[in-house]
Amino acid sequence: MTLEQLQAQRTSILAEIKRRGGAAKAPNYVQRLKEVEAKIREMRASQDQAAADAEPSAEGVSDTQAGLTTRQAQRLAWLLANRPNDPQVKELQSIAARANAQNLAAQPDASAPEEEEPSAEEADDNQVGLTPRQEKRLAYLKKYKPNDPQLKKLQDIAARAEKARQNAGSQPSGEEEPSAEEEVEGQVGLTPRQEARLAYLKKHKPNDPEIAKWERIKKQGGSKPAPKDNPAPPPPGGGPDVPPGGDPNLKKDGTEDPGTKGVGETGTTIDNFLNGLFENLGPLDLSGAPKILSTEDLSTARNQVWDSIYRQNTKDLDRQKALRMEETKQELAQRGIPIDFGDNNLYGRAIGDIDRDFDARDQAARDSANLQADQSLATLTGINNTNRDAFVKSAQAEYQSKLDAASTGGSVLNVMMQKYNIDRETAQKILDRKLAEKIAKMEDKTKRAAIQKAGSGGGGGGGGFNVVVGGEAP
């Protein structure tokens, strides 16, 4: 007779006793009830013993494993009860002890609120700066696991990033460090590219030793390197067409001589010429520029994508878990298995398996949401940067057209070529550099105004020409 049949017989006897008016009026049925209940207890004990006697299997262990799996823990308990001298007992106990030591070292403050431990991508030894997920994990480890070995690695990467920021000074986001040709023998002045590099170093790397070299050459005067075959300078009178003590750029009749125009002119003089045009024309019109997404904007956008994907992946998960729990509990009750949430009994193991299964499904949904949110953020950032670059280039072209219209003597490039005896490529590079500097100053002014507004308690946001300060969203 099976356990289910005995339980059905017990239910029938109880019904008959009740129908006859109680135990006092049905002594024979009471005796039969005791016999059936004794058989039920005996059969349950037999089943529990059979489950305990079955030797559980477990997956193999790893030398670097820190903690036992559920099956390994079950096998260890069985070995201790049945084969305590088995060599695998010591191996499994060593892994369990290692996990206990790590858990003790990473024990969080008991007074700290419960907080989910964030995950992060693996850190690279050559990495300079933390990703948003690594920054969240660093903060968590500082607060709850100060002895975790990963904490020092993340702190070292953050320190390298801070040192790099200090070396970079106040360099605005997206500004490219200009290069310059090397110094030539006998050079007595700076080329436009050397002038641009000197200005960059003084602004962003004031301690760079290269500054002293360019300053020394600049003090000697001139705007171009002095070639080795430099022709002799004009006589004191300024040449046959220049009166004694006169301007070498003027003929005797006071008109400009395009053949000598630009001799001795410096990069600073060209800058002054362009600065005058800029001042008369006013600032670039960047009022319609797309807003460059801030760290807060990127974080909000990523979180919205993550929430949407996670909700979609888990929309039916809670209902499925509740249904499976209810079905399992009913099955256990029908089998007569008592409610006991311990790890070494049938009821606790069955419920624990369901929890672990749905925890794994939830983690898979989170990982999928993280991956898709990162991909969406990269796409959004790329589109934003592309739109911003296209707008700036268009604004520069429009501004240069206005410069051409405002410049006497034709296009501003032609004026620069004639006035300073330079080719079109060099003139365009100088003009592009000056426009980039002007935009950089506008960006810096906007950023400082935003910081000052935030410090005084004003609200942020809004469109227009804004400056991005961060990177990926957490």
pLDDT at 221: 59
Asked whether residue 244 carries a pLDDT value surpassing 50, the answer given is: no
Q: Which residue has the higher pLDDT, 62 or 274?
A: 274
Question: What count of residues does the chain have?
Answer: 474
Confidence category of residue 184, pLDDT binned at 50, 70, 90: low
Distance, CA of 160 to CA of 166 (rounded, Å): 10
The torsion angles phi and psi of 275, rounded to 5 degrees, stand at -60, -40
Residue pair 172/440 in contact by the 8 Å Cβ criterion:
yes
Question: If pLDDT is split at 50, 70 and 90, which confidence band does 307 have?
Answer: very high
pLDDT (mean) for 251-257: 40
Distance CA 295, CA 287 (A): 21
Which position has the higher pLDDT, 320 or 89?
A: 320
pLDDT value, residue 357: 93
pLDDT digits (tens, 9 = 90+) for 85-135: 888 888 888 888 777 666 555 555 444 445 677 777 777 766 667 888 888
Q: What is the pLDDT of residue 74?
A: 80
Find the mean pLDDT for residues 371-391: 85
Q: Is the pLDDT of residue 43 over 50?
A: yes
Short-list 41, 31, 30, CA closest to 6: 41
Amino acid type, 289: A
Please give the pLDDT value at position 321: 92
Give the mean pLDDT of 160-182.
Answer: 66
pLDDT digits 0-9 by tens, 344-365? 788 888 888 999 999 999 999 9
Residue 152 has pLDDT above 90, yes or no: no
Out of 40-49, 112-121, 267-276, 396-405, least confident range: 112-121
Percentage of the chain modeled with pLDDT above 90: 8
Highest mean pLDDT among 230-239, 348-357, 433-442: 348-357
pLDDT for 474 equals: 34
pLDDT in the model for residue 343: 67
Q: How confident is the model at residue 254 (pLDDT cuts 50, 70, 90)?
A: very low
Is the pTM for the entire model greater than 0.85? no
Which neighbouring-strand residues pair with 250? 256
pLDDT band at 366 (very low <50, low <70, confident <90, very high): very high
Kindly report which listed range (134-138, 374-378, 452-456) carries the lowest average pLDDT score. 452-456
User: pLDDT value at position 7?
Assistant: 84
User: Side-chain half-sphere of 395: how many Cα atoms within 13 Å?
Assistant: 19
Compute the distance between CA of residue 148 and CA of residue 195 in angstroms, rounded to an integer.
50
Greater model confidence, 465 or 145: 145
Residue 405 has pLDDT above 90, yes or no: no
Q: What is the number of other CB atoms lying within 10 angstroms of the CB of residue 137?
A: 24
Q: What is the mean pLDDT of residues 218-247?
A: 46
User: Residue for token digits 């050079």?
Assistant: 187
Q: Residue 231's pLDDT band (boundaries 50, 70, 90)? A: very low
Which pLDDT value is given to residue 73? Answer: 81
Contact 56, 75 (CB under 8 A): yes
Check residues 209 and 199 and name the one with the higher pLDDT: 199
More confident residue, 218 or 322: 322
Q: Which pLDDT score, from 0 to 100, does residue 176 have?
A: 72
Q: Say yes or no to pLDDT of 323 above 90.
A: yes
What mean pLDDT do residues 275-287 have? 73
Cβ atoms < 10 Å from Cβ of 72: 22
What would the pLDDT profile of 56-88 be if each residue is shown by its tens digit?
777 777 766 667 787 888 888 888 878 888 888
pLDDT averaged over the chain? 74
Q: Identify the residue with better confidence: 450 or 109.
A: 450
SS3 for the chain, per residue?
CCHHHHHHHHHHHHHHHHHCCCHHHCHHHHHHHHHHHHHHHHHHHHHHHHHHHCCCCCCCCCCCCCCCCHHHHHHHHHHHHHCCCCHHHHHHHHHHHHHHHHHHHCCCCCCCCCCCCCCCCCCCCCCCCCCHHHHHHHHHHHHHCCCCHHHHHHHHHHHHHHHHHHHHCCCCCCCCCCCCCCCCCCCCCCCHHHHHHHHHHHHHCCCCCHHHHHHHHHHCCCCCCCCCCCCCCCCCCCCCCCCCCCCCCECCCCCECCCCCCCCCCHHHHHHHHHHHHHHHCCCCCCCCCCCCCHHHHHHHHHHHHHHHHHHHCCCHHHHHHHHHHHHHHHHHHCCCCCCCCCCCHHHHHHHHHHHHHHHHHHHHHHHHHHHHHHHHHHHHHHHHHHHHHHHHHHHHHHHHHHHHHCCCCCHHHHHHHHHCCCHHHHHHHHHHHHHHHHHHHHHHHHHHHHHHHHCCCCCCCCCCCCCCCCCCC
pLDDT score, position 415: 81
Tokens of 144: 């709850």
